[in-house]
Structure 1
Amino acid sequence: MNTTLPLDGKVALVAGATRGCGRAIAVELGALGATVYCSGRSTREQRSEMNRPETIEDTAELVDAAGGTGIPVRCDHGQEVEVAALVDRIRTEHGRLDILINDVWGGDPFTRWVKGVWEHPIEDTLRIVRNGIETHLITAHFALPLLIETGGGLVVEVGDGKAGVPFRGVVAYDHVKEAVVRLGFSLSAELRPYGATALSVTPGFLRSESMLDHFGVTEATWRDAADSHGGYFRYSETPHLLGRGIAALAADPDRARFAGQCLGSWDLMHTYGVSDVDGERPDWGVVDQEARLADAEDALPSVE
């Protein structure tokens, strides 16, 4: 083992590691020497309902290439039996769990962005809630005993936006993302007596694989297209900005000071001095705050 790496000997489970933030977090934990179990439903043999090409095997290989050890495990985190088996495997193979990243989502196929809750198909509304909240609770239920036994662990709930952000456009989506932030706070209260730290995090405007596809660009060409797409795409970030911040957090012996909080990628960026993969340091927190102030000013009645 390379003892110069701060997470050497540490074992992490990234639940929902197939793509996006989950993949980037797994890779960046690996870059600091961790062994990372990369779980998800999309494999080279079968795609999940997301129907995208990224796989957990790809993620594990990227973890290896970064300097860690990646272990792909096909797991539906909505199925108690599968999650229990995954944790049993971690216990058998390593006997410890130091880091739990709860990044399961999978609600995109069921989200109807132009529908009110009374119009949104009820089966899709409930599926969003099950995929976005129940998976996190199931994973916590089965994984936390091993993390507590290990001692001094870290639990990170990955959401979208901090508490109290403006309505996210769909009731079920809004409910899930707000609940994830609260879950980081709630788990912190329960885990504090055991010496473990729990919190939630959020990226900014994320330049994920699906977002690049949505805008019809690649990571190599997105900047050329930013102006033509308008809006806030020019202020976007890759999932690795959040991943690097979380890896630095995991290596921080004083991370308990953040227990129960919701940290943005920009907060972690400033705290730990990390940069995105292109060397940029986009601060979505500042951009978002300026946009909200502008919206508030536009909503003020005229005094003329």
Structure 2
Amino acid sequence: MDRFTNRVAVVTGAAQGIGAATAGRLAGEGATVVLVDLTVQRAQSAVDEIVAAGGAAVAVGCDVTDPVAVDAMIDRVVAEHGRIDILVNNAGITRDNMLFKMPVDDWDAVLRTNLSSMFHCCRAAQRHMVPARYGKIVNLSSRSALGNRGQVNYAAAKAGVQGLTATLAIELGPYDINVNAVAPGYVATPMTAAVADRIGVDRDEHRRQVAEQTPLRRVGQPAEIAAVIAFLASDDASYVSGQTLYVNGGAR
């Protein structure tokens, strides 16, 4: 399947987890993928895997919380590759704590990284997508957007992603730009492993506990989220816009 032949995709937070899996999936279907992370070195191993598998990929270092750096990164992508067709906003962090113990700096850091960065990237990308009258933007939300104890900052940011997505779909739709969000449940990634470490539970035991509460009786894998992102980034989803798709094994 070559749904992305001649397409150029940018994936943020692409060094590991869902970001790396998404970059690999898009490249495997023919896209030239720009893997963005804080440094080139962080994303290089994921790029090497894609190239070894026959795909086209490059690593770019960028702090996506910095609007000037984001503008320069997107302009560089267009200058070097001629276009930007797909933007996957995946960069994110956690700084979990109960409200009464959460430092203001941790609130600010999560909102800045998990929400404001998407605003910066979308604003920069649409400058090129609008004249081209084509674009696919997929933003990563989370099941936590519905509320999650100890994650007031993360939940607020991920709920904000859904509002951002719905609004951009309205504003950019007349230019044939689709904007959607994916909201994963528990996925086996370094980020969720860090959650287990934070609460003092063995990682495998933590996954087992989550699986017991999930109708499919298992946790998600990055490749499964990447498959949904690839659908929304493809022309197969040409009439889907402004939606948030929960991918959580049936959890309610």
TM-score range, shorter chain: 0.7 to 0.9
Q: Kindly indicate whether the alpha-carbon contact (under 8 Å) linking 1:84 and 1:142 is maintained by their aligned counterparts in 2.
A: yes
TM-score (norm 1): 0.73
Instruction: Return 5+ residue gaps in structure 2 as ranges.
Output: 198-202
The residue identity in structure 1 corresponding to 2:44 is: E
How big is the shift at 1:168?
4.7
Structure 1 vs Structure 2 CA RMSD? 2.4
Secondary structure, aligned partner of 2:121 = helix
- Per the alignment, residue 200 of structure 2 pairs with none
Instruction: Return 5+ residue gaps in structure 1 as ranges.
Output: 45-54, 217-221, 266-283, 290-304
The residue identity in structure 1 corresponding to 2:192 is: M
Alignment of 1:168-207 (within 5 A): 168-207=149-188
Describe the shift of the 1:148–1:227 C-alpha distance in structure 2 as closer, same or farther (beyond 3 A). Answer: closer
- Per the alignment, residue 236 of structure 1 pairs with 219
Q: Which runs of 4+ in 1 moved over 6 A?
A: none
Partner of residue 69 from structure 2, selected from 82, 90, 94 = 82
Describe the shift of the 1:229–1:161 C-alpha distance in structure 2 as closer, same or farther (beyond 3 A). Answer: closer
Mapped pair 1:62 → 2:49: yes
- Per the alignment, residue 96 of structure 2 pairs with 112
Alignment of 1:197-236 (within 5 A): 197-212=178-193, 225=204, 229-232=208-211, 235-236=218-219
Secondary structure, aligned partner of 1:258 = coil
The residue identity in structure 2 corresponding to 1:37 is: V
TM-score (norm 2): 0.87
Q: Kindly indicate whether the alpha-carbon contact (under 8 Å) linking 2:18 and 2:226 is maintained by their aligned counterparts in 1.
A: yes
Describe the shift of the 1:258–1:112 C-alpha distance in structure 2 as closer, same or farther (beyond 3 A). Answer: same
- Per the alignment, residue 14 of structure 1 pairs with 11
Superimposed CA distance per residue, residues 83-132 of structure 1 (whole angstroms, 9 cap, x where no aligned partner) = 111111112112211101111213x2xx232x21x431112211211111
Q: Kindly indicate whether the alpha-carbon contact (under 8 Å) linking 1:32 and 1:67 is maintained by their aligned counterparts in 2.
A: no
The residue identity in structure 2 corresponding to 1:250 is: A
Describe the shift of the 1:215–1:161 C-alpha distance in structure 2 as closer, same or farther (beyond 3 A). Answer: closer
The residue identity in structure 2 corresponding to 1:237 is: G
Cα distance between partner residues in 2 of 1:43 and 1:185:
32
- Per the alignment, residue 87 of structure 2 pairs with 100
Mapped pair 1:33 → 2:33: no
Residue identity over aligned pairs, in percent, reads: 28
Cα distance between partner residues in 2 of 1:230 and 1:133:
29
Secondary structure, aligned partner of 2:142 = coil
Mapped pair 1:144 → 2:126: yes
Superimposed CA distance per residue, residues 276-301 of structure 1 (whole angstroms, 9 cap, x where no aligned partner) = xxxxxxxx342x12xxxxxxxxxxxx
Q: Kindly indicate whether the alpha-carbon contact (under 8 Å) linking 1:160 and 1:202 is maintained by their aligned counterparts in 2.
A: yes
Secondary structure, aligned partner of 1:232 = helix
Structure label with greater radius of gyration: 1
Residue-pair matches, total: 243
How big is the shift at 1:8?
1.1
Q: Kindly indicate whether the alpha-carbon contact (under 8 Å) linking 2:39 and 2:60 is maintained by their aligned counterparts in 1.
A: no
Cα distance between partner residues in 2 of 1:228 and 1:178:
24
The higher relative CO (CA closer than 8 Å, separation ≥ 6) is in: 2
Describe the shift of the 1:186–1:10 C-alpha distance in structure 2 as closer, same or farther (beyond 3 A). Answer: same
Q: Kindly indicate whether the alpha-carbon contact (under 8 Å) linking 1:205 and 1:235 is maintained by their aligned counterparts in 2.
A: no
Describe the shift of the 1:56–1:181 C-alpha distance in structure 2 as closer, same or farther (beyond 3 A). Answer: same
Mapped pair 1:246 → 2:229: yes
Secondary structure, aligned partner of 1:8 = coil
How big is the shift at 1:200?
0.6
Secondary structure, aligned partner of 1:235 = coil
Describe the shift of the 1:227–1:139 C-alpha distance in structure 2 as closer, same or farther (beyond 3 A). Answer: closer
How big is the shift at 1:38?
0.5
